[in-house]
Structure 1
Amino acid sequence: MTAHLLTGVRPYGEDPADVLTADGRIAAIGPDAAAQAPAGTVRHDLDGLVALPGLVDIHTHLRQPGGESAETVLTGTRAAAVGGYTAVFAMANTTPVQDSAGVVEQVLRLGREAGWVDVHPVGAVSAGLEGRHLSDMGAMAHSAARVRVFSDDGRCVADPVLMRRALEYVKAFDGVIAQHAQDPRLTEGSQMHEGAVSAELGLRGWPAVAEESVIARDVLLAGHVGSRLHVCHLSTAGSVDIIRWAKARGIDVTAEVTPHHLLLTDELARSYSPLYKVNPPLRTAADVEAVRAALADGTIDVVGTDHAPHPLESKDCEWAAGAFGMTGLETALSVLIETMVAPGRMTWRDLARVMSSAPARIGRLTDQGQGLEVGAPANITVVDPGVRRTVDPRAQWTRSANTPYAGMELPGQVVATFLHGRPTVLAGEPVAREEA
């Protein structure tokens, strides 16, 4: 494997250093890295740019199999690499559902063939996402995909007995249940956050308690059986309070927040554009402030994009007919810089924790999220934080254009991404495997 020398980068935004990769690992960091470079090393002059460990997304929808009109494993993972990611967890709500060893191994194979990032399939909790019977979690856990994260995301595991059984089952192989916290009865027909704006617009409201009540139930169940629970896309101040309470009592729960819930509010629904229609819905400014504070103080563990691509016809329509979901892989890092790093609420090391090491730990990855250290896998993202760019859906690499940030100016540009020592992105552009 070709060695690469990254000169003048600032690991975690700190002092400049040269970084040498060889044989898929970080071989040296510091002033003597160049002297250790073997013959044939490729040099990349990246003076002053910030180097981070490769980003890991705990929550990605790649749509394949079955939803190729919106995204494929190839297009989605290429977009992920452009966004600075080196690993993604692919959610189970595909067609067929990822509820068996055969389907998760198919997704694993597609990811390896694409080669842009490591793809880790998420297994369904219930067979067919129907919420009635457990899926074959054991077979998926012991398959070639070694599934450790299980979720019916897109749907809530609403039955408390089924949820308890799932939490008990995954203990055998150190798995985790990632819950989509949404009481289906409280949100039937709901279109946006329940509050002043929904009342003014005449759209059926989605109450915060529909999320919070499920989280409260599930942290109690997780504590009761002694299992791991992960809460997907937490979005309300009340949910933050419940997670904080659970952690203070030693319950093994982790939580994620999406970039869009860190930046956008329900006020955007006044446009009636389905680009701003998402599940859970955009909340109030007070909720946004609460989740920012919780991410900064560690109550919320990770940022998950919930990258949810849709074909044009699913978003270019009236609000009620629009699909829930937003793309996010290519903009997540920029949103975190805008909302957390630039205001001084988080350091670059903090960002690396919530976007790399913590999601890798939750998903039990051993070759991702290991940080920028000699001997660690050479999964590296290099970002220019001084660039500000206007988001153009036509310039993105995802197959779908349903970004809520279209026309917005955001900071930061991923300049280079290295996956196990191989460049997947250089000069901000994808690098074909044969060119690397």
Structure 2
Amino acid sequence: MNILIKSATLPDGTRADLAIADGVFVESAGSGATVIDADGLQALPGLVDLHTHLREPGFEQSETVLTGSRAAAAGGFTAVFAMANTSPVQDTAGVVEQVWSLGEQHGYVTVRPIGAVTIGLAGERLSEIGAMARSRAAVRVFSDDGKCVHDALLMRRALEYVSTFDGVVAQHAQEPRLTEGAQMNEGPLASELGLAGWPAVAEESIIARDVLLADAVGARLHVCHVSTAGSVEIVRWAKARGIQVTAEVTPHHLLLTEQLASGYDARFKVNPPLRRDEDVAALRAALADGTIDIVATDHAPHPVESKEAAWAEASFGMVGLESALSVVQSAMVDTGLLGWSDVARVLSSAPAAIGRLAGYDTPFAVGAPAHLTLVDPSARSVFSVDHLHGRSVNSPYLGRELPGRVVTTIHRGVPTVLDGVLRDPQEVSRG
């Protein structure tokens, strides 16, 4: 379909009309184009999430590729990277191709599977890394997220392997011996609440080890969900040495703190845990100065019974696709730490580059794939279950007022969200 977007504000602050035809940006949409009035709206390249849990296959009671893709589109995303902790685990070419194919079938977003580093996430033997890289899914990101690749020799071998085809290992930095039974950030509040503490050094020690391993073998390392000020300093040191390391921060670690555990509401139980005010400030500063490269949601859906439980028995994780852009606006844009051009970088071009996803390096250019998000930054609303389009409702933002509203999402030239309403891309294409 042909689309003409009129008077959109681009990330650099200029205003322009944008024309789309046959799935790409063009100079002119021609007659009969669908016109979208974008006056007062901020145009962003389609958002890319490098860290999403879609749960399918195996945990469809929490999420599926379809429902997770719908949630992503509602949040302004046009591509997501699906983590490997499914059942069966995404550790073979067959499983990653299944997930990739489901994403292509539904069409809401581009779904790029992440391959497991080790067989069954067991941390004992390397998975079929080469076969997954050569598959139709063309896997370039490998992670045991949810578990740490804690064996140093195995981690070194994985880094060596992926370096042969420009892949990257995305590490869940958590030393397991230091976090046995851990429930929340280690400190006075954890002692007061009677919850086992989760020390910052459990994260920082793994990051320190892995940047040295990446340097030794000349490989790319990506650090998932950085959560402490100490981790920031290690990443900053590694980058100053020229080590090929990138890092992500989640929206919830930019906004929420350990104080929310005081009510024992398991919506705020997450891995890694919510940290101190000082950590939040350090993470915001690191994202602003480029030490942390991207924002990634770590969208982790769970059924109601897994979260409406006593804190110690409840599952770790939060959903985050629909709220991510609003949280980044609240924590980073409205505070003056980032401009919209920076948002386009940390939520689109940089995650696409890390995952080696084509089509996001020249947004809005004639001939580039038409991935686009229009957001109303002046809107404010109380976040509720009505904002959620996935299968689970374990959001930490329910009842909280958040800024911004995704008005339109366009994936491959097809609107998946139009005037704030989610639409089936297959029906739009047929119509």
Provide the TM-score with structure 1 as the length reference.
Answer: 0.97
Name the structure 2 match of 1:19.
18
Q: Is the 8 A contact 1:3 1:41 kept in 2?
A: yes
**What residue identity is the alignment partner of 1:314?**
S
Task: Flag the 1:13–1:248 CA change in 2: closer, same or farther, 3 A.
Answer: closer
1:67 to 59, 71, 82: 59
Q: Is the 8 A contact 1:292 1:340 kept in 2?
A: yes
Q: Is the 8 A contact 2:133 2:139 kept in 1?
A: yes
Name the structure 2 match of 1:346.
338
1:405 to 366, 384, 397: 397
Deviations 1:213-236 (A, max 9, x none): 000000000000000000000000
Name the structure 2 match of 1:418.
410
2:428 to 423, 428, 435: 435
Report deviation, 1:376.
1.6
What pairs up with 1:24-423 in 2 under 5 angstroms? 24-28=23-27, 36-423=28-415
Name the structure 2 match of 1:7.
6
Deviations 1:280-315 (A, max 9, x none): 000000000000000000000000000000000000
Q: SS of the residue aligned with 2:98?
A: helix
Q: SS of the residue aligned with 1:21?
A: strand
**What residue identity is the alignment partner of 1:128?**
G
Distance in 1 between residues matched to 2:25 and 2:363, nearest whole Å: 10
Q: Is the 8 A contact 2:414 2:428 kept in 1?
A: no
Report deviation, 1:435.
2.5
**What residue identity is the alignment partner of 2:117?**
V
**What residue identity is the alignment partner of 1:323?**
S
Report deviation, 1:420.
1.2
Report deviation, 1:45.
1.2
Identical columns (%): 63
Distance in 2 between residues matched to 1:435 and 1:150, nearest whole Å: 34
Task: Flag the 1:289–1:272 CA change in 2: closer, same or farther, 3 A.
Answer: same
Distance in 2 between residues matched to 1:37 and 1:68, nearest whole Å: 40
Report deviation, 1:12.
1.1
Distance in 2 between residues matched to 1:49 and 1:367, nearest whole Å: 23
Length, aligned pairs only: 428
Deviations 1:10-36 (A, max 9, x none): 0116122111011211113xxxxxxx3
Pairwise CA RMSD: 0.9
Q: Is the 8 A contact 1:230 1:253 kept in 2?
A: yes
Distance in 2 between residues matched to 1:65 and 1:369, nearest whole Å: 31
Distance in 2 between residues matched to 1:13 and 1:425, nearest whole Å: 24
Distance in 1 between residues matched to 2:223 and 2:364, nearest whole Å: 28
Report deviation, 1:114.
1.1
Q: Is the 8 A contact 2:113 2:137 kept in 1?
A: yes
Question: Which stretch of structure 1 is more off in the superposition, 145-154 or 40-49?
Answer: 40-49
**What residue identity is the alignment partner of 2:382?**
T
Distance in 2 between residues matched to 1:245 and 1:430, nearest whole Å: 43
Distance in 2 between residues matched to 1:369 and 1:384, nearest whole Å: 24
Report deviation, 1:73.
0.3
Report deviation, 1:189.
0.3
Instruction: Structure 2: state its 5+ residue gaps.
Output: none
Q: Is the 8 A contact 1:55 1:369 kept in 2?
A: no
Q: SS of the residue aligned with 2:100?
A: helix
Q: SS of the residue aligned with 2:51?
A: strand
Distance in 2 between residues matched to 1:158 and 1:290, nearest whole Å: 26
Q: Is the 8 A contact 2:183 2:197 kept in 1?
A: yes
Distance in 2 between residues matched to 1:256 and 1:41, nearest whole Å: 39
Q: Is the 8 A contact 2:322 2:387 kept in 1?
A: no
Report deviation, 1:394.
4.2
Q: Is the 8 A contact 1:13 1:50 kept in 2?
A: no
Q: Is the 8 A contact 1:377 1:420 kept in 2?
A: yes
Report deviation, 1:373.
2.1
Report deviation, 1:369.
4.8
Distance in 2 between residues matched to 1:57 and 1:25, nearest whole Å: 21
Report deviation, 1:37.
2.7
Q: Is the 8 A contact 2:146 2:172 kept in 1?
A: yes
Q: SS of the residue aligned with 2:20?
A: strand
Q: SS of the residue aligned with 1:135?
A: coil
Report deviation, 1:366.
1.0
